Amino acid sequence: MTTPDLRQITSETMAACGATIAPGAEGGLEVVSPLTGQPVARLAVQDAAAAAAMVDRAQAAFRAWRMVPAPRRGELVRLFGEELRRAKADLGRMVSIEAGKSPSEGLGEVQEMIDICDFAVGLSRQLYGLTIATERPGHRMMETWHPLGVVGIITAFNFPCAPWCWNAALALVCGDPVIWKPSEKTPLTALACQAVLERAVARFGAEAPEGLSQVLVGGPETGEALVDSDKVALISATGSTRMGRIVGPKVAARFGRCILELGGNNAGIVCPSADMDMALRAIAFGAMGTAGQRCTTMRRLFVHDSVYDRIVPALKTAYSSVTVGNPLETAALVGPLIDRAALDAMAAALEEASALGGIVHEGGRVAVGPETSVYVRPALVEMPVHDGPVLRETFAPILYVMRYTDLDEAIEMHNAVGGGLSSAIFTTDLREMETFLSARGSDCGIANVNIGTSGAEIGGAFGGEKETGGGRESGSDAWRAYMRRATNTVNYSRELPLAQGVVFDI
Ligand code: NAD
């Protein structure tokens, strides 16, 4: 695929989504496709002043949108879901162009947006509070949930659109305008999504105020303008733990609300009773899918001593046979790394692993297209120790495999890392399964049995503990983060009894 071809495909796909690529000024943001490692567009970067103007527009929008009844707000999200269905193929292609995902994974990401819209539409009639028993006669106590304010959404390159939509669909039904600061590596997909949402807004009509959803293009500094604004009630930030360490304290210092969705160091445990074929397939997708660039990618594997010599040779075969290539040109299962820095981080981690006695299988660079692109074979590393690079997230396809003999020890090692996002056990033994899911089991936000660590559905709350940031978004009751709760006590009696029997007679 030549660079002019890809530029052409990019502008045609953007146009099909209803978005134009406004040419950026010199020194603006160059958008590079990892498929070729070559630029496909240049955009203007928005600075702190532009961010402040957006926040003001969003605040004005909030005053109007919070008064629109929630089920009506849901109607906008329903229309958005319809528009997403129409634009699915084009948005999926934009995800492949900007993040290098296979067509199937690109379309899957858009399907996730459609799914969360459906979920949010139902939710728009279920933003329930409780009615609570009160100790005072003739009183009633209840909770009400109100819109919170402007929501700033910061997203990572590896999921260029679904995490935005997890936030935006819920925020919109909850009565909150959104400002999206996408990754500087994937801004085009964001502009395409915004164009699709604008079509839904146009169909919805005048009840939707101007500034309900906006996109802020730029890098970390642009994101900081949102983070620092005390007019932004909630910052929902997806990205590295390094980013979260900066963003979290800043938002906390101004008493803002934060949802942090940060890095993981996800692991699987293969027990003696596991269905080995099923485990193998789940591990292969979890560790190699999306070229190891998912927050939920399986990065560590603990294999029981008694089955190590069955599963590891089978994994070696899978690693040597998996196809690597440009997913828009071939049926390759593994696409490119995002950039050269990812390759350098992978090489450094493999070198460190070797120095600790690790045996590295595969993991070399593959020549695909122009030299500027970065394609690698996923690496399988047999590690004698749970140490060094195994303890941290390297955002590349490396799976470290270790032996274990005792499940409690395996769980201890499993939990002995900073990340706390996703985890899996492969077993048909009820006791092992329940132990892994129990209070002394996996300490992650996601704990699975007989499926891999990645590929979550939108119905459950998504997020993780420890250095993953503790945030939850998407399904279950994650919507509560986008609203403020008021406890209301109503006295319909003719007396004024005080709680706890306190007397204050004047
Ligand atoms: P990154 O941290 O480099 O960037 C993420 C986003 O944060 C970008 O939009 C970036 O511009 C912005 N940003 C960076 N520093 C900032 C700052 N100081 N203030 C405001 N904004 C700032 O991450 P990445 O390389 O794009 O993505 C990969 C990382 O994201 C991995 O660690 C991965 O595990 C994580 N991730 C987590 C989840 C999750 O849901 N837990 C999902 C996807 C990715």
Q: How far is the CA of 468 from the centre of ligand 1 (A)?
A: 11
Q: How far is the CA of 407 from the centre of ligand 1 (A)?
A: 33
**Per DSSP, what are the bridge partners of residue 334?**
324
pLDDT of residue 5: 87
Give the nearest ligand 1 atom to 469 CA: 41
pLDDT of 160 > 80? The answer is yes
pLDDT of 3 > 80? The answer is no
Residue-wise pLDDT tens digits, 343-392: 999 999 999 999 999 999 999 999 998 999 999 999 999 999 999 999 99
Percent of the chain with pLDDT over 90: 96
Q: Which residues line ligand 1 (CB under 6 A)?
A: 154-159, 163, 181, 183-184, 219-220, 223-224, 227, 238-240, 243, 246-247, 261-264, 295, 393, 395, 421, 468
pLDDT of 444 > 80? The answer is yes
Task: Report the residue among 47, 243, 247 best suited for mutation to probe ligand 1: largest number of ligand atoms under 8 A from its CB.
Answer: 243
> What's the start-to-end Cα distance of the chain, in Å?
85
Neighbours of 341 (CB within 10 A): 11
Is 261 among the catalytic positions? Answer: yes
Segment 99-117 shows an average pLDDT of 97
Q: How far is the CA of 38 from the centre of ligand 1 (A)?
A: 22
Segment 189-200 shows an average pLDDT of 98
Closest protein CA for atom 23 of ligand 1: 239
Distance in angstroms (rounded) separating the CA atoms of residues 444 and 462: 11
Letter for the amino acid at 196? V
Give the nearest ligand 1 atom to 462 CA: 40
Q: How far is the CA of 241 from the centre of ligand 1 (A)?
A: 8
Distance in angstroms (rounded) separating the CA atoms of residues 258 and 397: 30
Q: Which among 139, 149, 157 has a CA at the least distance from the CA of 177?
A: 149
Task: Report the residue among 45, 158, 221, 462 best suited for mutation to probe ligand 1: largest number of ligand atoms under 8 A from its CB.
Answer: 158
Closest protein CA for atom 13 of ligand 1: 220
Q: Which listed residue (83, 105, 224, 261) is catalytic?
A: 261
The mean predicted confidence, pLDDT, of the chain is 97
Distance in angstroms (rounded) separating the CA atoms of residues 130 and 127: 10
Q: Which DSSP category does 455 fall into?
A: -
Segment 199-227 shows an average pLDDT of 97
pLDDT of 503 > 70? The answer is yes
pLDDT of 480 > 80? The answer is yes
Give the nearest ligand 1 atom to 184 CA: 11
Letter for the amino acid at 282? A
Segment 304-313 shows an average pLDDT of 98
- Helix 3-17 crosses helix 70-99 at what angle (to 10 degrees)? 170
Count Cβ neighbours within 10 Å for each residue of 56-94 and write b for 16 or more, e otherwise: ebbbebbebbbebebeebbbbbbbbbebbeebbebbbbb
What number of CA atoms fall less than 13 Å from residue 442's CA on the CB side? 27
Closest protein CA for atom 22 of ligand 1: 220
pLDDT of 429 > 90? The answer is yes
What number of CA atoms fall less than 13 Å from residue 484's CA on the CB side? 14
Neighbours of 153 (CB within 10 A): 28
pLDDT of 105 > 70? The answer is yes
Segment 144-149 shows an average pLDDT of 98
Distance in angstroms (rounded) separating the CA atoms of residues 458 and 65: 25
Distance in angstroms (rounded) separating the CA atoms of residues 208 and 259: 26
Letter for the amino acid at 418? G
**Per DSSP, what are the bridge partners of residue 260?**
237
Phi, psi of 15 (to 5 degrees): -65, -40
pTM summary value: 0.97
Residue-wise pLDDT tens digits, 6-36: 999 999 999 999 998 766 656 689 999 999 9
Q: How far is the CA of 504 from the centre of ligand 1 (A)?
A: 55
Q: What is the ipTM of this complex?
A: 0.99
Task: Report the residue among 238, 242, 422, 423 best suited for mutation to probe ligand 1: largest number of ligand atoms under 8 A from its CB.
Answer: 238
Residue-wise pLDDT tens digits, 123-132: 999 999 999 9
Residues 146/46, Cβ–Cβ less than 8 Å: no
